Amino acid sequence: MKAPFDPDLQPPPQSGLPKHDLRRLQVWFLGIIAFAVVLFLLVQAKFLLISLAIAIMLFSLTSDAIGYMKRLRFGEARFSEWLASLLAVLLIATVLISLSAIILTQANTVVTTIMQYAEPGQRAVAEMFGWMGEDVEQAVLNWLRGVRLGSWLTTMAGQAGNIASGAVLVTLFVGFLFLERLWFSTKLTSLMGDAERAARVERIIGSIMHRVNHYLVVKTLVSLVTGALVYAVMRLFGLELALAMGVLTFVLNFIPNIGSIVATLATALVAYVQTGDNVTGLAVLAIVGILQFVVGQVLDPLLLGKTLRLSSFGIIASLAFWAAVWGVPGMFLAVPIMVSVMIVCSQIAWLRPVAVLLSREGLPDADMGDAGTRKPEHRDAA
C-alpha cells in the first residue's frame, strides 16, 4: 500500500555531488591531464621546440629591420619584400654560424685548459678549505680527485656540438617564417572570422614583439659591454682564458639574476686556479662583482625602464620551471616566454588574474595602447 503524500516532508537528499560541482571537478581533472601531456611533449621535443622558440625571437627582431629596408630608396630602386627577407635570413645564418664557431672554439680551449690545470686546480680549490684543518683539506682534495672529468667534458663537447646543428635548424625555421609572413594577415583574418578580432590579435602580437625585442636588444648590448669588461680585467691581470670568460659572461648575463652570479664566481675561480694567489682571486672577484652590480642595478634598469613590468618572484619561478623542462636553454628563454604568457593572459578574462600575478605592479597591459586599454572580452574565454 502506497503511503500518502505529505507536502511538509522534505525530499530525501540525493546521493553524489551536484551537477555544477561535478562539472567543475571534471574540468580540473581534464586540466591536470592536459598539463601533464603538454609537459611531456615539451620535454620529449625540447630540441625542436627550443630551436623554434629561438627562431621566432630572431624573426621578431628582424621584422622591423625588413620594414626599414623596404622604405629605403636608391633613386627609383628599392628593396622588395623577397629581397629584404632573403638578406635577413642570410644575415641571421651568418651571425648564428659565427657565434657557433666562436663557442665551439672557446669550448675546445676550455677543455684543453681544464685538462692542463686539472691537478693544480684541484689542489688550489682544496687549499681554500685549509683554514678548517688539514683533514678537511685532504677530504676535499680526495673528493675532487674522485670527480670524473672525462664524462663531464664529453657531455660539454656534446652540448657544444648541438649548438651547430641547432643553428642550422633555427635558420631553416626563420626562412619558413619569413615565407609565411607574406600571408599572415590574410590567414589571421580568415582564422578569426572577423577583421576587428584579427586586428586585436595583431595588436597583442605586436605588443609581445615590442617588449621582447626591446628586452633582447638591451640585454645583448648590456651583456656585450659586461663581457668586454671582464675580458679587459682578465687581460689586465695577465690571465689565460680571457676571451673564454668574456664569452661566458656575455652568454650567462642573459639569465636574469643567477647568470651574473655564476659568471662572476667562475671568473674569480679561474683566476685563483691559474695563479694560486688568494689576493689575485679576491681582486678579480671584487672587480668583476662591482662591474656586474653596476651593470645589473644601474645600466640594465636604466635602459629597460618599465618595458617588462615582470614580478621578480615570477622571474625566479619561471627560471626554475623552464630550467627543469628545457635545462640551461630554458633559462635563456624564460623571460621572453613569461612576457608572452603575461600579455596573452591579460587579454583573456578568466586568465587575467594570472597576468596580474606575473606583472610587477599589477598592470600587465599598461603600454599596449588600444589592445591594452580595452577590457578583456568575455567571449574570448569561451
Local confidence band at 379 (pLDDT 50, 70, 90 cut-offs): very low
Q: What is the pLDDT of residue 345?
A: 84
Q: What is the pLDDT of residues 291-330, one digit of tens each?
A: 988 887 777 777 776 566 778 788 888 888 888 888 888 8
Q: What is the average pLDDT value for the chain, to the nearest integer?
A: 77
Report, as an integer, the average pLDDT of 233-240.
87
Q: How far is CA 298 from CA 192, 230, 305, in A?
A: 44, 17, 11
CA 128, CA 271: separation in Å to the nearest integer? 14
Is pLDDT of 250 > 50? yes
Tell me the C-alpha distance between 88 and 66, whole Å: 7
Task: Indicate whether 256 pLDDT > 60.
Answer: yes
Residue 43: CB atoms within 10 A of its CB come to 13
What integer pLDDT is reported at residue 150 of this predicted model?
A: 58
66-72: Cβ within 8 A, 24+ apart:
66/178
* pLDDT of 122 over the 80 cut: no
Q: Regarding predicted confidence, which is higher, 366 or 216?
A: 216
Q: 3-state SS string over the chain?
A: CCCCCCCCCCCCCCCCCCHHHHHHHHHHHHHHHHHHHHHHHHHHCHHHHHHHHHHHHHHHHHHHHHHHHHHCEECCEECCHHHHHHHHHHHHHHHHHHHHHHHHHHHHHHHHHHHHHHHHHHHHHHHCCHHHCHHHHHHHHHHHHHCCHHHHHHHHHHHHHHHHHHHHHHHHHHHHHHHHHCCHHHHHHHHHCCHHHHHHHHHHHHHHHHHHHHHHHHHHHHHHHHHHHHHHHHHHCCCCCHHHHHHHHHHHCCCCCHHHHHHHHHHHHHHHHHHCCHHHHHHHHHHHHHHHHHHHHHHHHHHHCCCCCECHHHHHHHHHHHHHHHCHHHHHHHHHHHHHHHHHHHCCHHHHHHHHHHECCCCCCCCCCHHHHCCCCHHHHC
Predicted confidence at residue 372, as pLDDT, reads: 41
| pLDDT score of 231 | 92
* pLDDT tens profile 323-377: 888 888 888 888 888 888 888 888 878 778 888 888 877 666 655 544 444 444 4
In whole angstroms, give the CA distance from residue 140 to residue 149. 16
For residue 382, the model assigns a pLDDT of 33
CA distance 183 to 179: 8
Answer yes or no: pTM beyond 0.75. Answer: no
Q: Which percentage of the chain shows pLDDT scores above 90? A: 4
pLDDT at residue 187 greater than cutoff 60: yes
Residue 4 scores a pLDDT above 80? no
- The gap from C-alpha 19 to its chain's centroid, in whole angstroms, comes to 43
**pLDDT (0 to 100) of residue 274:** 81
Taking a C-beta distance cutoff of 8 angstroms, is the pair 272, 241 a contact? no
CB 339 within 8 A of CB 310: yes
Nearest alpha carbon to residue 301 among 312, 313, 317, 314: 312
Please write the tens of the pLDDT for every residue from 78-121: 767 777 777 778 888 888 888 777 777 766 666 666 666 666 66
To the nearest whole percent, how much of the chain has pLDDT over 70? 73
Rounded mean pLDDT, 201-214: 84
159-184 pLDDT, tens digit per residue, is: 666 777 788 888 888 888 887 777 88
The residue with cell 596580474 is 356
pLDDT at 370: 42
Which phi and psi angles does 359 have, rounded to 5°?
-85, 160
